A = this chain, B = another copy of it.
Amino acid sequence: MSSEENLSKLGITLPPAPPGVGAYIPWTRMGNWVLTSGQLPWVDGKMAYPGRLGAEFDVAQGYEAARICGLNALAQLREAAGTLDQIAKIIRLEGYVHTAPGFRGHPEVLNGASELLNEVFGDAGKHARVALGINEMPLDAAVQIVVWAELQPGGVSF
């Protein structure tokens, strides 16, 4: 099954790819490699989860925030590649969790994005990950992620 078909089967409709919030672009390419800029939990242009894990939000809410970041990242990848079916493999997830002092549940929170990638791409969704706690996050976002993907050989070129 193709990744786009898989997405439909999962009942997921991707949002429009969010613009950046500064003098940069939301994704870039180098050869067959695509990477997103930092993706925040935007929903319809609103910051859906403003606050910190271990204070304003619990792990279940953080998981949901990470999943929303993941949906926005998928929207960027589709924008970059034309269709998710041009994605050969997810390479890496950078996961940044907005943390109040003492919070240690980063892995559970970031699984919200990782499991989305695994659901949509199957084996090709398996990725390396780095997980960090950030005490002061841009725009007060609860989570920020970056996704790297490899395009199909002979995929889109610019």
Contacts and interface: CB of A to CB of B under 8 A. Distances in A.
Interface in A56-97: 89, 91-94, 96-97
For chain A, which range describes its interface: under 10, 10 to 19, 20 to 34, or 35 or more residues? 35 or more
A132 B136 CA distance: 7
A107 interface: yes
A130 B22 contact: no
A30 B128 CA distance: 11
B138 A106 contact: yes
Contacts of A136: 54, 97, 99-104, 106, 133, 135
Given A22-B107, A91-B28, A92-B28, A137 B132 contact: yes
Given A135-B101, A150-B30, A129 B20 contact: yes
